Amino acid sequence: MRNIVLIGLPGSGKSTLGALAAKRFGLDFLDMDAEIEREAGMSISEIFSKYGEPHFRELETAAARAAARRLRCVIATGGGAVLRAENMRALRENGFVVFLDRPPAQIANGLDAGARPLLAGGTDRIHRLSRERRKRYLAFADARLPCAAGLKDASEGLCRLVRCEYPDAAFAVIGDPIGHSLSPAIHNAVFAALGADCRYSAIRVPKGRLDVFVERARFFDLSGFNVTIPHKQDIIPFLDGLDEEAALCGAVNTVRNEGGRFIGYNTDMEGLLRAVEGRGRAYGGAGVAILGAGGAAAGIAMKAACERARRITIFARRPAQAEELRRRALRAAAARGAPDPEIRTEAMEPRAMCDAVRDADILINATPLGMSGTKSEHASFAFLEYLPVRALVCDLIYEPARTKLLREAATRGFETLGGLDMLIAQALLADEIFLGRALDADALSKLAAGAVADERRSVRASRRASGNAGRRRRIEGEHG
């Protein structure tokens, strides 16, 4: 929800269109030239004739810096604001820049040159300004809005662009790292399919910066957000309430703005269960083996305990962590009225794993072992030889789509389930919370999987392109 910054030649309609768009969307409007005149106590023409253009440019830079500090504002810049890169750097920091591209001949026809000092020499000057500045307008713009077809068309075009920045509802996923997130592709595809005027983006929030994010989210009245590593637990003190499932597992992955109150939910646990059920399996009555004892494993253990799994085995490299998880799962089961489930903890080492997976119906990897970029891998897959052939082997990891664990399991004839199914299932459950209505999970899961495939293709293509560009640069470098 950035400012909307309008750039373009004098007379291209920045003030008129900007004021109209601001009024329509209930945003503030700021005309930088009018601000400069107000501050200086004289007109722009008087500033030019009394102090010259360099002095005016100084005032313009100060005005650009002040404008950049505004929030929820449409800003009409002066035609020459692009002459100094520092002006545009400041305005772009929190602004979406739109170039109003009106042909100079059309501007010359309708322009009152007397009111514009730079056009005092006659309207021919506008053509020269266009030749001098066009490249800069294009270089600094996030979007170009052709304005040749008249004010009405231009106004509608601008409103469409502003609409994208200020939709009816805005959502985000926060985490760090977040660049790899598939969530925007999934949620935006779902919103588009539902015809919902919502926008979903990814925001990097480093550890320790949740306070700043939550303050801004409240100020902007963000409709809701998803939470991923490393904030699922840390977000809780910043919220106004928790639903039962989130309170039970002590982790939140979905926050909804309910009339100004931020309420936390957890759709991870139910998401994995839905994905497992999608394979015709259930936790109820099953032997569930969980590798890892972190946040995701906690959710799975508690859900499996509440769903009355026959036996839950938690494998962890730190026994204390597994024991703590066991106690929490027992408490959760008691709170839900599930009879005392059998929960064992085991060391995450090959021999113990081979012994303890013999009666598992569902095995779930909830560690980052095998994840792209981590270079870590399971020490051994020998435990697969001891797993009953009927077992479903799941991996929460979705990058890569098929981890080594899943490939090893598939070659031994096991049915497998990758992390993408869970990711999509928890995202659809989050959208049900965000939109406050039930969704057609079957149809939307397929649509979301298609959006993820498209996103992965486009990431691969851009990596190839930047790899080629890098290679080209190196070769050019080698040739001096």
Q: Give contact residues for ligand NAP (rule: CB under 6 A).
A: 229, 268, 292-297, 316-318, 321, 348, 366-369, 371, 376, 396-398, 419, 422-423, 426
**Nearer to ligand NAP by C-beta: 101 or 270?**
270
Q: Which residue is nearest to ligand NAP (CB)?
A: 294
Residue 364 CB, shortest distance to ligand NAP, in Å, is 9
Cα–Cα dist 261/269, whole Å: 23
Largest CA distance in the chain: 90
Is the Cβ of residue 374 or residue 466 nearer to ligand NAP in the bound state? 374
Report the nearest approach of ligand NAP to the CB of residue 35 (Å): 48
**Residue with structure tokens 């096991």?**
414
Give the sheet arrangement for strand 392-395, strand by strand: 342-347, 311-316, 287-291, 362-365, 392-395, 415-417
DSSP of 36-73: HHHHHTS-HHHHHHHH-HHHHHHHHHHHHHHHHT-SSE
Q: Which of 23, 135, 207, 232 is catalytic?
A: 232
DSSP state string for 257-305: EETTEEEEE--HHHHHHHHHHTTT--STT-EEEEE--SHHHHHHHHHHH
Amino acid at 151: L
In terms of CB distance, is 298 or 360 closer to ligand NAP?
298
Cα–Cα distance, 34 to 59 (Å, whole number) = 12
Between 146 and 177, name the residue whose CB sits nearer to ligand NAP: 177
Shortest Å, Cβ 226 to ligand NAP: 10
State the minimum distance, in angstroms, from the CB of residue 136 to ligand NAP.
43
Q: How far is the CB of 394 from ligand NAP (least distance, A)?
A: 9
Q: Is 23 a catalytic residue?
A: no
**Any bridge partners for residue 203, and if so which?**
174
Q: Cα(434)–Cα(161) distance, rounded to whole angstroms?
A: 24
CA separation for the pair 416, 392 (Å, rounded): 6
Residue with Cβ nearer ligand NAP (87 or 345):
345
Pairing assessment for the beta strands 261-265 and 254-258 based on DSSP bridges: antiparallel
CB of 185 to ligand NAP, least distance (A): 14
Coil, strand or helix: which one is 10? coil
Nearer to ligand NAP, 285 or 373 (CB): 373
By annotation, the residues acting in catalysis are 232
